[in-house]
Structure 1
Amino acid sequence: MSIEGSPVVLITGASTGIGHAAAHLFAERGWRGAATMRNPSASAAPAQDQHVAVLPLDVTDPASVKAAVAATLEQFGRIDVVVNNAGYGLFGPFEKASDEQIRLQFATNVDGVFAVTREVLPAMRRQGSGTIINVASLGGLITLPFFSLYHATKFAVVGFTESLSFELAPLGIRAKVIAPGGVATDFAGRSLAQTFAEGEHAYGNTLSKVMAAMTARRGNYSSPKSIAETIFTAATDGTGRVLYLAGPDAEQAFALRQSLSEAERLEMVRQHSGL
């Protein structure tokens, strides 16, 4: 198949990390499409050419979502796969999270997925085909302390995707969810916000233990490219499979979770978190 007739992908959050790696991988394998991000001029965006459009898209802004989807359809005529990757983590005690922090966490991680998905579905219905791939997290299946709001959003994405898969299947459209484990990106820096300021508070002792355990675990994470490979598999395997664990740690942790009783699972989380 020539590049002119190749399938088209739209990827959100493509400025860094998983989204950036996915945009490069799809392009390397002959796909056309849009690599979208909030501010293309301020990021290491993929090279733009006639087959790759680098577009602004803020998933929290409905007008921005509409404009990016319309621009993709205008340039390429169709959208075969959407990768809803834009998102970030919010870490810290729930009690100390502000209303605005809570709103933005859900606006980005959940409402953004809804907005992009709803905007592309009419085109996919007209085609009679398409695949929605939502990047959730192992944190949409398993919890850790002080990520309650992040987990709430990712559990929502997992549940949304599975239910959506049933209603879209008769239309020839698939819905799939990716659950990466630890990824060697800047998630713990640029992509991780905190609900708390430095200083003494009621959660300080527990928080210190959890942060120390998190620091000790770093270093054995998957690369963004390996997660992008899982995304590409989900986009091209042609199956009705919905959940894709991404990374050895995700596969091991989920298998262990499935084998444990609730009491055993909760104790495992406590030990893993240094509590």
Structure 2
Amino acid sequence: MTKTILITGCSSGLGKMTARHFASKGWNVVATMRRPEPELADQYPARILVAALDVADPTSIEAAIQAGIDRFGGLDAVVNNAGITMVSIFEATPADAVRHIFETNVFGMMNVIRAAVPHLRRRGGGSVVNVGSGVGIAAMPLLSLYTASKQAVEGLSESLSYELSSQNISVRLIQPGAMRSTNFTATGMAASQAAPVPESYKHYFDHMLQSMINYPFASTEEQSVVEAIYAAAIDPTDRLRYQVGPDVEEYARLRWSTSEVEYRAGMQRLTGHSAWQAKEE
């Protein structure tokens, strides 16, 4: 029986690539986004259904799931890819921006999982693949809100991996590193407009933003993340985490294979924080 997967956030490069990759492997795909782009299905018109879905709107989630079931007969897996980031100084970030990132990255993911689980159970089980981030392992300066949301995804995924196993549903967590498509400069400028940097932080913000631009690791290839998502969806083992990228592998090593002192020193060096401290001294 051909399997069907629903993927959120398919307006992005990673989401689009993931949808097409599953279709190329013979899966039926419900490719969802807030504003549907029908051309996404052009390569695989028989296998890809493009549907509107806003993770903050439970009604749209139910409608997209039902459209997929009506087209393909059932639902076997979900990829929670939709998410947003923000580079900012926490103290100056407006409360509505804080709520927005959690509504999308955490509560939106919860909405999709809650809606999908009954349909997965009707098929005898399935898989939920959550796209997290390397910051779920190790926090980064200027990314406090994104980090907090992705560490919430970490905890949610691990806890659900136990709960949902009782329903024959596996939970997988993808931990990608910084991808080539990520533009820290543009993101930082947009964030500065949404949350102006206080004068007392300006020197620090500028230094740390430049450190992001001069990231010390090779970018994680989007295709590698796509392949990890696919591998996670079909993995018959009990594995939870899939780290993708040299930066994430180093964060994991520092976090889980060294002392707290070594971890802190390593992260301060990698993020450029220690270089800022040296300048200030």
TM-score w.r.t. length of structure 2: 0.90
* Structure 1 unmatched ranges of 5 or more: none
Change (3 A) 1:190 1:6: farther
Q: CA deviation at 1:215?
A: 0.7
Question: What's the CA shift for 1:96?
Answer: 0.7
Is the 1:136–1:158 Cα contact (8 Å) retained in structure 2? Answer: yes
| Residue 31 (structure 1) shift | 0.7
Q: Is the CA contact (8 Å cut-off) linking 1:88 and 1:191 kept in structure 2? A: no
Structure 2 counterpart of 1:260, from 258, 261, 281 = 258
Moved more, 234-243 or 184-193: 184-193
Give the match for residue 45 of structure 1. Answer: 40
Q: Is the 8 A contact 1:55 1:68 kept in 2?
A: yes
* Other structure's SS at 1:30 match: coil
Whether the 8 Å contact between 2:133 and 2:174 is mirrored in structure 1 is yes
Q: Tell me the distance in 2 between the aligned counterparts of 1:112 and 1:242.
A: 21
2:132 maps to 1:162: no
4+ residue segments displaced more than 4 Å: 189-193, 195-200
Q: 2:198 matched to 1:203?
A: no
Contact kept in structure 1, 2:10 and 2:31, CA below 8 Å: yes
CA, structure 1 residues 191+231, in 2 after alignment: closer, same or farther (shift >3 Å)? farther
Residue in 2 that maps onto 1:131: 127
Flag the 1:36–1:128 CA change in 2: closer, same or farther, 3 A: same
Q: How many residues align?
A: 270
1:77 to 73, 76, 84: 73
Specify which of 55, 64, 67 is matched with residue 68 of structure 1.
64
Give the corresponding residue for 2:191: 194
- Confirm or deny that 1:8 pairs with 2:4: yes
1:149 matched to 2:149: no
- Please give the alpha-carbon distance, in whole angstroms, between the structure 2 residues aligned to 1:270 and 1:149: 19
Q: Distance in 1 between matches of 2:39 and 2:140?
A: 32
Aligned counterpart in structure 1 of residue 103 of structure 2, from 95, 102, 107: 107
The equivalent position to 1:95 in structure 2, one of 86, 91, 94, is 91
More helix by share: 2
In the other structure, the counterpart of 1:225 is 223
Corresponding residue of 1:21: 17
Q: In the alignment, is the contact (CA less than 8 A) between 1:38 and 1:57 conserved in 2?
A: yes
The one-letter code matched in structure 2 to 1:211 is: L
Residues 88, 187 of structure 1: 8 Å contact kept: no
Q: Given residue 2 of structure 2, which amino acid in structure 1 is its aligned partner?
A: S
How far, CA to CA, are the matches of 1:216 and 1:82 in structure 2?
Answer: 35
In 1, Cα distance between equivalents of 2:8 and 2:184: 19
* Superposition deviation, residue 219 in structure 1: 7.4
After alignment, is 200-209 or 161-170 more displaced?
200-209
Identity value in percent: 36
Pick the aligned partner of 1:185 from 174, 181, 188: 181
Q: Distance in 2 between matches of 1:167 and 1:187?
A: 37
Alpha-carbon distance in 2 for matches of 1:60, 1:255: 35
Shift in Å, 1:56 = 1.1
Q: Report the TM-score when normalising by structure 1.
A: 0.92
Q: In the superposition, relative to structure 1, how do residues 86 and 233 fare at CA in structure 2: closer, same or farther (>3 Å)?
A: same
Deviations, residues 115-150 of structure 1 (Å, cap 9, x unaligned): 000001111112221100000001111111111111
Inter-CA distance 224–189: structure 2 relative to 1 (3 Å threshold): farther
- For 1:6 and 1:191, locate their aligned partners in 2 and report how far apart those are by CA, in whole Å: 40
